[in-house]
Amino acid sequence: MDLIEREKALLVGLDLQNSQTDIEISLNELALLADTAGADTLEIIVQKRERRDPAYYIGKGKAEEVAALAEMRGAGLVIFNDELSPSQLRNLDRLINLKVIDRTALILDIFARRALSREGKLQVELAQMQYLLPRLIGLGNQLSRLGGGIGTRGPGETQLEVDRRVIRRRISDLKKEISLLRKQRQLQRQRRKRNRCIVVSLVGYTNAGKSTLLNQLTGSDLYTEDKLFATLDPMVRRGTLNDRTEVLFTDTVGFIENLPHQLVSAFRATLEEISAADIILHIVDLSHPDYNNHVSVVRQHLAKLVPDYHEKELLVFNKIDVINENPAKQFHDREYPNALYISGLTGSGMEDLKEAISAAIMVKRCSVRLFIPYSKGKIISELQKYSDIETLNYGDEYLEVKTILDRETLARYEAYTKKPGKDEDG
């Protein structure tokens, strides 16, 4: 139970000309983020402008209106819907004379509260330090005046009032620790590969229902909650497909529009789990009014992490139990012809999903004959230990192996897919 007193907040956003962002949906999401962080939204203020004001984000006059409204409504916090520059943060802090934070600080605060593992806490602290370093001067008045609450919580809290030199040293130490954890993850992935583990990674916009689906696929009992970033630390669970094939399902942090680049950088070691997956299940909340944009946002993140993600992606529309109409209508058939429709909560569509995963795995694996000279004993040992061998035939000069390999492994043994020349002549 959260015993921290909830803060009262005003939300502020810009409706920019020629912007592709639906400002109403974006600010509703900001309100959900604020609620997740422990703030009640008193009012949402929107200003229409051609471009951001370089000094105040919104115009100075509008900022003065926000200050007056905050005093009248008894707000203690003002949250802006974009990342503010250090100078904008400093100017707004002085003018409004209340705690001012931006969308990035809000998301970092949520991550600080949700991180449970040592790795997660280190990664969040690194992101906080990288965000705070250029803003230390602007935060001075705010920290001395308020201390604590949204935007100042988490592992980085004790570092906010120290000088840049100490912050930089802490960033360096965190990077070293995370680098060691990254190497450990690489070793874990190599071990899975040696053990021929098939890895299916669940990705999606935050609150798309990944953890609920993971519970359905693996019989687990992971924590789930209808809030943004309900789970943060990566999970790995074993599950079985319809053909009895065992796979490892991994669940990573959810994505969101304008996910702070500090978090993407700090969580790279964790997000690399996605690039190592054999199959990527892209989970989409079909009940969300902006689900089309969610698909685009997640694919943009995937393109940076996994350049060939489209070769691994299975698009899965979740929460069909929430909507009334048949999800596979003409629009979806045209726009997303190969998508699957499921409910992670009720289990509807699970059998079709498992069949699709099995089919995708078979596309990535193939039966092949290799002709390995006895002089290449190491390769023979690797195949016997790490591949699914169907038959072995011992020739005079080589071993003929019929085995099942994934495409990446097959590329390493491409030179041995042809018989030695004298056998071909004979």
Domain membership of residue 331 (yes or no) is yes
Q: What pLDDT does 143 receive?
A: 45
Give the whole-angstrom CA distance, residue 392 versus residue 36. Answer: 59
Query: pLDDT higher for 55 or 266?
Result: 55
Average pLDDT, the chain: 83
Q: Is pLDDT above 70 for 372?
A: yes
Assign 291 to helix, strand or coil: helix
Q: Is pLDDT above 50 for 158?
A: no
Residues 330 and 407 in one domain: no
**H or E segment at 237?**
strand 235-240
Q: What is the mean pLDDT of residues 81-96?
A: 92
Beta bridge partners of 314: 281
> Tokens in use for 390?
């169907």
Name the residue among 109, 119, 281 with its Cα closest to residue 208: 281
* Reported confidence tier of residue 85, pLDDT bands at 50, 70, 90: very high
Q: What pLDDT does 424 receive?
A: 46
Q: Is pLDDT above 50 for 146?
A: no
Owning domain of residue 93: 7-116+136-151
Report yes or no: 7 and 150 within 8 Å, Cβ to Cβ: yes
Q: Is pLDDT above 80 for 168?
A: yes
Residues 290 and 388 in one domain: no
Residues 341 and 380 in one domain: no
Q: Distances from the Cα of 242 to the Cαs of 59, 278, 350, 357, in angstroms? A: 59, 18, 10, 10
Name the residue among 176, 217, 254 with its Cα closest to residue 345: 217
The sign of the CA dihedral 330, 332, 336, 340 is negative
Percent of the chain past pLDDT 70, that is, above it, reads 84
Last residue within a domain, chosen from 348, 380, 405: 348
Q: Is pLDDT above 90 for 178?
A: no
Residues 341 and 379 in one domain: no
Domain membership of residue 128 (yes or no) is no
Q: What pLDDT does 120 receive?
A: 82
Residues 320 and 379 in one domain: no
Domain membership of residue 157 (yes or no) is no
Give the whole-angstrom CA distance, residue 403 versus residue 423. Answer: 21
Name the residue among 268, 274, 271, 218 with its Cα closest to residue 248: 218
Q: What is the DSSP letter of 84?
A: P
Angle between helices 350-364 and 210-218 (to 10 degrees): 80
Half-sphere exposure of 240 (CA within 13 A, CB side): 4
Residues 343 and 388 in one domain: no
Q: Is pLDDT above 80 for 321?
A: yes
CATH number of the domain residue 34 falls in: 3.40.50.11060
Query: pLDDT higher for 93 or 252?
Result: 93
Report yes or no: 315 and 321 within 8 Å, Cβ to Cβ: no
Q: What is the mean pLDDT of residues 33-49?
A: 93
Q: What pLDDT does 11 receive?
A: 96
| Range of lowest pLDDT (90-104, 179-193, 230-244, 316-330) | 316-330
Highest mean pLDDT among 109-123, 217-231, 291-305, 368-382: 291-305
Name the residue among 316, 247, 308, 305 with its Cα closest to residue 282: 316
Residues 327 and 375 in one domain: no
Domain membership of residue 341 (yes or no) is yes
Q: Is pLDDT above 50 for 132?
A: yes
Domain membership of residue 188 (yes or no) is no
Residues 344 and 202 in one domain: yes
pLDDT tens-place string over residues 222-279: 656 666 766 666 788 888 888 788 889 988 878 888 888 888 877 776 787 888 888 9
Domain membership of residue 144 (yes or no) is yes
How many other CB atoms are there within 10 angstroms of residue 60's CB atom? 13
Per-residue DSSP letters for 200-233?
A: EEEEEBTTSSHHHHHHHHH-------SSTTS--S
Q: What pLDDT does 162 receive?
A: 52
Residues 70 and 206 in one domain: no
Domain membership of residue 158 (yes or no) is no
Angle between helices 377-386 and 164-194 (to 10 degrees): 90
Give the whole-angstrom CA distance, residue 160 versus residue 153. Answer: 10
Q: What is the mean pLDDT of residues 217-222?
A: 80
Residues 329 and 372 in one domain: no
Last residue within a domain, chosen from 318, 348, 378: 348
Query: pLDDT higher for 21 or 69?
Result: 69
Report yes or no: 141 and 94 within 8 Å, Cβ to Cβ: yes
Give the whole-angstrom CA distance, residue 249 versus residue 251. Answer: 7
Q: Is pLDDT above 80 for 151?
A: no
**H or E segment at 299?**
helix 291-305
Residues 296 and 207 in one domain: yes
| Range of lowest pLDDT (33-42, 79-88, 90-99, 186-195) | 186-195
Residues 316 and 246 in one domain: yes
CATH number of the domain residue 341 falls in: 3.40.50.300
Give the whole-angstrom CA distance, residue 364 versus residue 360. Answer: 7
Q: What pLDDT does 425 receive?
A: 46
Q: Count of domains in the chain?
A: 3
263 contacts: CB under 8 Å, gap ≥ 6: 107, 108, 111, 123, 124, 127
Last residue within a domain, chosen from 319, 348, 377: 348
Domain membership of residue 164 (yes or no) is no
Give the whole-angstrom CA distance, residue 387 versus residue 392. Answer: 12
CATH number of the domain residue 399 falls in: 3.30.70
**Cα 154 versus chain centre, distance:** 20
